[in-house]
């Protein structure tokens, strides 16, 4: 049993940069962290912009403004940009009197920026993204320096995330990865009966954005289908195929490609359970391979691209096979290799499950809590003067 080791219970504020009513890696990270902390007896409040409070059932959530969609790094970030939230944030911080304020992606939205600007307590930031917010590329890092200096602690979710953010904000970053709830992917999870029909299910799961690389998987699939006529590609995730993906499907008359759209968390784990092989052909921009961990937790062999974020959780030849990004031929060869050798795939699936064990939320939350103690002790030993930055 993994237990947190603080000698007192804390009042913790977790701040999301992104719309808490929408699905996303940062929001999921915060929810799981909050649940683990609360199970240990700590008081937790989550603060963030929210497009629909009726969708957020978390009793510990404090909505702070409405988000707007902003294009960012080939995706769309739903963030708040309203500086008019400043007095509401100040009132909330005064009322809550947090012992720890933990900001997630602190410079990607006004809500964490406003919290950091007005924080009077120990404040920590986690940087999730690689290559990070476009704000850093347009001079925002220089404007944010006075606020960055207010931080008492700095966490990055992976080495790629640390390496990126260090270019803009040098600091002694603690690397604490994302976590995973193993039980979610195993306890009572049943495959979809209609997918247990003798076909081989190849699963892609992710938003249909160019950087997710679906076009390269479709190109690989078109080659594989000749040798594996009973192969089926399940495409799970919100969005519509890009022009190149649609062209490949049409020109090559691809059969048994099933677009399933966005799905609930419950259905997501059932699709993993229904799959024979998981493939992520992402071309870059991934700070951490959470989808790979989900596939590992589901005991599925993996074919993935050898991009930095994925290499931080997966080893080529161990939990699966890794190939260069944007290489449909290499994807096809790797998938063919595992389909042709089911025993090897089974060994990789078992190793993947063992790897996923290391990323259980209890372990991750313990590391975060230990870091809180380091920051609390450091702040108590050498209190800093109050900041006089007033840009926000």
> What does the pLDDT look like over 287-305, one tens digit per residue?
889 999 999 999 999 999 9
How many Cβ atoms sit within 10 Å of the Cβ of residue 46? Answer: 24
Q: Find, among 187, 209, 276, the residue nearest to 73 by Cα.
A: 209
Q: Answer yes or no: are the C-beta atoms of 79 and 108 closer than 8 Å.
A: yes
> Helical H runs in 149-261?
159-168, 214-227, 243-251
Q: At 388, is the pLDDT very low, low, confident or very high (cuts 50, 70, 90)?
A: very low
CA distance 327 to 301: 19
pLDDT in the model for residue 344: 98
Confidence of residue 385 (pLDDT cuts 50, 70, 90): low
Residue 2 — pLDDT band, cuts 50, 70, 90?
A: very low
Does residue 362 surpass a pLDDT of 90?
A: yes
Residue 5 backbone dihedrals phi, psi, to 5 degrees: -120, 20
182-357, what's its fold?
Rossmann fold (3.40.50)
Q: Which residue has the tokens 């161990």?
A: 318
pLDDT in tens, 322-353: 999 999 999 999 999 999 999 999 999 999 99
Topology of the domain covering 11-179+360-381? Rossmann fold (3.40.50)
Entry pTM? 0.88
Q: Are strands 100-104 and 231-236 parallel, antiparallel or unpaired?
A: unpaired
Which residue has tokens 């080893």? Answer: 315
**In the chain, pLDDT over 70 holds for what percent of residues?**
92
- Whose tokens are 């590992």? That residue is 296
**Quick one: average pLDDT of 63-82?**
81
pLDDT on residue 78: 84
- Given a contact cutoff of 8 angstroms between Cβ atoms, the answer to whether 272 and 185 are in contact is yes
- Indicate whether 390 pLDDT > 80: no
Per-residue pLDDT tens for 153-202? 999 999 989 998 998 899 999 999 999 999 999 878 999 999 999 999 99
Q: Is 80 within 8 Å of 113 (Cβ atoms)?
A: no
Tokens of 180: 């995973």
- Sorting pLDDT into bands at 50, 70 and 90, what band is 1? very low
The answer to which of 49-63, 107-121, 138-152, 299-313 has the lowest mean pLDDT is 138-152
Angle CA(248)–CA(250)–CA(256) in degrees, nearest 5? 90
The answer to whether 155 touches 172, Cβ cutoff 8 Å, is: no
Structure tokens given for 134? 């476009």
User: Please, which pLDDT band fits residue 59 given cuts at 50, 70 and 90?
Assistant: very high
Q: Map out the domains of the chain as residue ranges.
A: 11-179+360-381, 182-357
As a whole number of angstroms, the distance between CA 160 and CA 344 comes to 30
CA dist., res. 272 & res. 218, Å (int): 19
pLDDT band of 133, cuts 50, 70, 90? low
What tokens were used for 135? 């704000």
């Amino acid at each position: 049993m993994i237990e947190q080791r603080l000698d007192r219970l804390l009042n913790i504020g977790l701040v999301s940069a992104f719309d808490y009513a929408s699905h996303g890696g940062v929001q999921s990270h915060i929810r799981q962290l909050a649940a683990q902390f609360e199970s240990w007896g700590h008081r937790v409040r989550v603060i963030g912009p929210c497009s629909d409070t009726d969708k957020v059932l978390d009793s510990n959530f404090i909505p702070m403004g409405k988000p707007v969609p902003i294009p960012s790094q080939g995706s769309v970030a739903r963030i708040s940009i309203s500086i008019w939230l400043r007095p509401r944030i100040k009132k909330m911080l005064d009322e809550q009197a947090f012992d720890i304020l933990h900001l997630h992606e602190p410079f990607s939205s006004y809500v964490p920026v406003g919290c950091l600007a007005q924080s009077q307590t120990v404040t920590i930031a986690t940087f999730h993204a690689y290559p990070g917010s476009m704000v850093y590329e347009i001079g925002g890092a220089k404007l944010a320096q006075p606020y960055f200096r207010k931080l008492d602690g700095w966490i990055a979710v992976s080495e790629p995330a640390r390496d990126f953010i260090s270019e803009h904000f040098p600091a002694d970053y603690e690397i604490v990865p994302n976590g995973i709830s193993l039980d979610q992917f195993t306890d009572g999870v049943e495959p979809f009966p209609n997918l247990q029909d003798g076909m081989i299910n190849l699963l892609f799961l992710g938003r249909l954005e160019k950087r997710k690389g679906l076009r390269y998987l479709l190109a690989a699939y078109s080659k594989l289908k000749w040798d594996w006529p009973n192969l089926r590609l399940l495409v799970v995730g919100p969005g519509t195929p890009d022009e190149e993906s649609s062209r490949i499907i049409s020109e090559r008359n691809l059969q048994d490609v099933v677009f399933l759209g966005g799905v609930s968390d419950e259905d997501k784990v059932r699709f993993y359970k229904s799959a024979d092989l998981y493939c992520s052909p992402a071309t870059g921009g991934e700070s951490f391979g959470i989808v790979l961990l989900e596939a590992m937790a589901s005991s599925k062999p993996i074919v993935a691209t050898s991009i930095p974020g994925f290499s931080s959780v997966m080893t080529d030849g161990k939990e699966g096979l890794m190939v260069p990004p944007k290489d449909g031929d290499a994807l096809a060869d790797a998938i063919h290799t595992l389909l042709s050798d089911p025993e090897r795939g089974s060994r990789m699936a078992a190793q993947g499950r063992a790897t996923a064990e290391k990323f259980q939320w209890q372990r991750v939350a313990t590391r975060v809590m230990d870091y809180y103690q380091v920051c609390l002790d450091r702040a108590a030993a050498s209190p800093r003067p109050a900041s006089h930055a007033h840009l926000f």
